[in-house]
Structures are given as C-alpha cells and as structure tokens.
C-alpha cells in the first residue's frame, strides 16, 4: 500500500489482528486512526487513537471523517449469547457501514469468519458461492454481517470486501488448525489485497493459509491480488493428533459445531 492512499481506520485496533496490522502499516499510510473501546496509546506520528463504542453511530461517523479505507475488526470473536453477538457484531457493523457511507469512504474491509460455513463436511472444498452453514451463533452473526455488507454494496455502491478469517495464530497448535490456520504473514497479505484491489464493488474471500489440508477455496483471494505462502503442515510434527485418521464426514467447524458449544449460551437450555 502507498501513503498516497491517505487515511486508514482500524476498528478493534487493540485486538490481536489489529495490533499486528497497525505495526505493519506504519510506513505504508499517511494517517492511521485506531479505534477501540479499550485505551490505546499512539506509538508513531502517523497514529491517532480514538476510544469509542461502535454502538454510538454519531461517534463512529465523526471518527471516520477523512477516511479512505476502513478495516473493521471489532466485535465479539467467539460463541456468545445471541443477543450479545447481534449487538456487538451486527449492529456494530451496521454503524461502520453507515458511517462509511456518510463519509464517502472508498473501501471497507470487514472481518468475517470461516465459521459461516462450519457445518459443511471436511471432505468438501468450500468457496464463497456455496450456501452458508454456520456452526453456531457466532457464525450466524457473521452471516448477517456479510448480508449487511452486500446490502450496502448493492444499494449504496459502497465498495466492501468481506474476509472469512481462518484460525489466526503464530503457528497451528490444534488438529483443526492444520486446515484452517491463517499465519500473521498471510493475514497481512489478505488484508492489504482487500484494501487495495481495484474496482471491487463487493467480494467475499476466505483468508486462510496455503494449508495442504484446507477445505476452503482460495481463488477469490487470488483474484483480489494475494496468494498465501504459509502451510500449516510445516508445523504438523508439533501438533498432537496430526497423524490420526481424518473423519471426512465431520463438520469443518470441529468442536465449534458441537451442540454444547451453543447450548451453554442459551438461558435455561437443558
């Protein structure tokens, strides 16, 4: 990315991906606006920190003034009560998109999740055109996020890219991550491509590394301009159970697709 692209806003800048992204972009943008509910400290002359809750639409609109690109990473990152996910993920994304529309932002990049298709079987290579099959309430909230993004692209001509983020870790430490791992290097590559790809009215792409065992199609990411380079199998020797037989009929969401993962978040559920 070139500094000539101007101001980049990151929501959820205090999170793990946000922290990696802010440091990677220091020399690539003219201004970097970091938004989160928790306190942050500017670490370079290009940074400006804004503490706010995305529930406050007026505050979000004000924070987006002068923005060229918004990278929306904020939200609840895992299974939770549905009402909390709808408030944090869906309503928060609505405010991001509406603020971007009002401020005429050139591009919005939204962190979706590979868990919107977690109930497809392991044997299937899933691409963004396949039906959504969320593996829990968290996946449902990300389906709604993608629907909002599509609406704003279709109705208001807002350029939006949704990245279905995989398992973001320094290295895979779980058998499922051998398929879903997203390395920090590849994560940055996908986000940069989503920020800079020309002439994209709307796109959805899986953001996972080039894992030998992956069950996500990477063509959409390649079309945006990035091909991942890391492979979880390079770390397989250190992952317990890596050599166990694979159940190809099992859901891609693994433990996230189990009933108990969601039932614990339903009040009064037996």
Per-residue pLDDT tens over the stretch 9-19: 999 999 999 99
Mean pLDDT of the chain: 96
pTM: 0.97
Catalytic residue among 138, 152, 226, 256: 138
Is 152 tagged catalytic?
no
Is 182 within 8 Å of 156 (Cβ atoms)?
Answer: no
> Is it the case that residue 3 has pLDDT exceeding 70?
no
Angle at which helix 184-196 crosses helix 16-24, to 10 degrees, equals: 70
User: Of 196, 155, 204, nearest to 68 (Cα)?
Assistant: 196
Whole-number pLDDT of residue 4: 63
Could you tell me the fold of the domain covering 3-263?
A: Rossmann fold (3.40.50)
For residues 181 and 169, what is the distance between their CA atoms, to the nearest angstrom?
Answer: 7
Cα angle 176, 182, 187 (rounded to 5 degrees) comes to 165
What is the percent of the chain where pLDDT is above 70? 98
Please state the rounded mean pLDDT for residues 226-250: 97
Q: How far apart are CA 193 and CA 224, in angstroms?
A: 6
pLDDT of residue 270: 85
């Amino acid at each position: 990315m070139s500094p000539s692209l101007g101001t980049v806003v990151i929501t959820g800048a205090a999170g793990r991906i946000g922290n990696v992204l802010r440091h990677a972009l220091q020399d690539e943008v003219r201004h970097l606006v970091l938004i989160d509910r928790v306190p942050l400290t500017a670490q370079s002359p290009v940074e400006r920190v804004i503490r706010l809750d995305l529930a406050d639409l007026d505050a979000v609109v004000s924070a987006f003034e002068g923005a060229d690109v918004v990278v929306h990473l904020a939200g609840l990152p895992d299974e939770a009560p549905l009402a909390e996910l709808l408030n944090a993920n869906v309503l928060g994304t609505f405010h991001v998109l509406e603020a971007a529309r009002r401020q005429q932002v050139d591009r919005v990049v939204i962190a979706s999740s590979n868990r919107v298709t977690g109930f497809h079987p392991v044997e299937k290579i899933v691409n963004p055109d396949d039906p959504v099959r969320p593996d829990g309430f968290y996946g449902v909230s990300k389906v709604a996020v993608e629907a909002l993004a599509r609406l704003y692209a279709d109705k208001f001509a807002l350029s939006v890219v949704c990245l279905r983020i995989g398992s973001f870790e320094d290295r895979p430490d779980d058998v499922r991550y051998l398929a879903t791992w997203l390395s920090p290097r590849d994560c940055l590559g996908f986000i940069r491509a989503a920020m800079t790809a020309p002439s994209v009215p709307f796109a959805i792409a899986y953001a996972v590394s080039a894992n030998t065992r992956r069950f996500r199609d990477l063509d959409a990411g390649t079309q945006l301009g990035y091909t991942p380079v890391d492979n979880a199998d390079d770390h397989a020797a250190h992952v317990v159970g890596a050599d166990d037989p694979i159940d190809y009929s099992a859901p891609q969401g693994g433990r996230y697709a189990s009933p108990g993962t969601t039932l614990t978040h339903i009040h009064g559920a037996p």
